């Protein structure tokens, strides 16, 4: 199968693993790349040493192309980007920030850059900055999807850019893959479907819950981590979405995040406060959301934690190996 995406990345199938924090580990990344897709390592919750170790671990597991992401909204993202560039990661995926410097540095060693966007303004800015492709994320997606559904968002952006588009949000099977191509995309990115795979590190109890979820059992709120995000409906997510922000509690939670990621907590806190009240409130919610993500995605505790989940979970009914998922999606082994 050939599209501009397979040719750009040198992969067999135009199927991409979303870079999901705590989920897109080196093992899952390598499994997707080995199966002919493109795995993307999530770096947002990793220390600099862990980012470097993760990249080297992927290279031990596969010699196929792979990528890694940086969410420029997160503290420390620019430092992570420097590691990706030093390690010459084949594909760098950035989101929520300006990517011109990343594009210049990655292109200097022959790598490719993909920008994740949720609207036409950011898509055009990414193209101008030098991105080689776009991941266009619709409203259906887990985590930080846009406000417009993929059915409308993808073709609207395809019509405005010259670089290839990868559709994200609402894709999990062969029907969705064919629909994405019909909309003008040249590949798809999947998070929820790969989260519910055999190789995913997510506790099996959560994979089972995802497979049992209906399409309407998610909530979309800015109160989980400061930006509109989609989660599974659970006691933990409902509590966070309805509870008023406690700035003091958030400040205390941010200390643990700083320590875990190798930051000076006073320096981090000062930087957040100086960034303005709007950003400070977003960061405060992120601190609370960070702990909830950990409890949900690592411990499997949805009474106190949360699980990012796309609406497409309602179309997923079993946990499968990554290779079977990809073959089914592209139509070689439909399920």
pLDDT at position 123? 97
The pTM (predicted TM-score) of the whole model is: 0.88
Q: What is the pLDDT of residues 28-43, one digit of tens each?
A: 999 999 999 999 999 9
CB within 8 Å of 82: residues ≥ 6 apart? none
Nearest residue to 65 via CA among 38, 102, 45, 84: 38
pLDDT at position 150? 96
Planar angle of CA 80, 307, 27, nearest 5 degrees: 50
pLDDT at position 105? 97
Domain positions in the chain: 4-205+316-330, 214-297
Q: What is the pLDDT of residues 139-195, one digit of tens each?
A: 999 988 889 999 999 999 999 999 999 999 999 999 999 999 999 999 999 999 999
Lowest-pLDDT choice from 4-13, 130-139, 217-226: 217-226
Nearest residue to 3 via CA among 181, 123, 153: 181
Instruction: Give the span between the Cα atoms of 162 and 241, in whole angstroms.
Output: 38
To 10 degrees, what angle do helices 150-158 and 174-182 make?
Answer: 40
- Region 217-224: mean pLDDT is 84
In this structure, the strands spanning 91-95 and 66-71 are parallel
The number of beta carbons lying within 10 Å of the beta carbon of residue 278 is: 9
- Answer whether CATH 3.30.930.10 is correct for domain 4-205+316-330: no
Task: Sort 277 into a burial class: Cβ within 10 Å, 0-12 / 13-18 / 19+.
Answer: exposed
Q: What is the pLDDT of residues 285-328, one digit of tens each?
A: 666 667 788 788 888 888 888 888 999 999 999 999 999 999 99
């Amino acid at each position: 199968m050939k599209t501009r995406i397979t040719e750009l990345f040198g992969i067999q199938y135009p199927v991409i693993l979303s870079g999901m924090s705590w989920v897109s580990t080196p093992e899952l990344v390598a499994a997707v790349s080995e199966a002919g897709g493109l795995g993307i390592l999530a770096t947002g919750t990793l220390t600099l040493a862990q980012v470097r170790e993760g990249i080297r671990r992927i290279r031990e597991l596969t010699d196929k192309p792979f990528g890694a992401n940086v969410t420029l909204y997160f503290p420390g993202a620019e430092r992570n980007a420097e590691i990706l560039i030093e390690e010459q990661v084949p594909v760098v995926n950035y989101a929520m920030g300006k990517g011109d410097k990343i594009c210049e540095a990655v292109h200097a060693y022959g790598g490719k850059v993909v920008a994740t966007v949720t609207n036409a303004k950011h898509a055009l800015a990414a193209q101008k900055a030098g991105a080689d492709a776009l991941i266009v994320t619709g409203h259906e997606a887990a985590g930080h999807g846009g406000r417009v559904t993929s059915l409308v968002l993808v073709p609207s952006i395809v019509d405005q850019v010259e670089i290839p588009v990868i559709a994200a949000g609402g894709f999990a099977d062969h029907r969705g893959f064919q629909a994405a191509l019909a909309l003008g995309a040249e590949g798809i990115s999947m998070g929820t479907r790969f989260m519910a795979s055999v190789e995913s590190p997510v506790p099996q109890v959560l994979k089972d819950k995802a497979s049992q979820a209906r399409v309407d059992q998610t909530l979309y709120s800015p109160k989980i981590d400061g930006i509109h995000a989609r989660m599974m409906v659970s006691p933990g997510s409902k509590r966070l979405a309805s509870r008023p922000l406690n700035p003091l509690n958030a400040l205390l939670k941010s200390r643990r995040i700083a320590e875990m990621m190798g930051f000076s907590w006073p320096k981090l806190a000062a930087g957040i406060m100086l960034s303005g009240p709007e950003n400070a409130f977003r960061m405060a919610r992120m601190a609370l959301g960070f702990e909830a993500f950990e409890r949900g995605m690592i411990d499997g505790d949805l009474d106190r934690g949360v699980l990012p989940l796309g609406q497409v979970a309602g179309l997923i009914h079993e946990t499968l190996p990554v290779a079977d998922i990809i073959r089914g999606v592209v139509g070689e082994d439909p399920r």
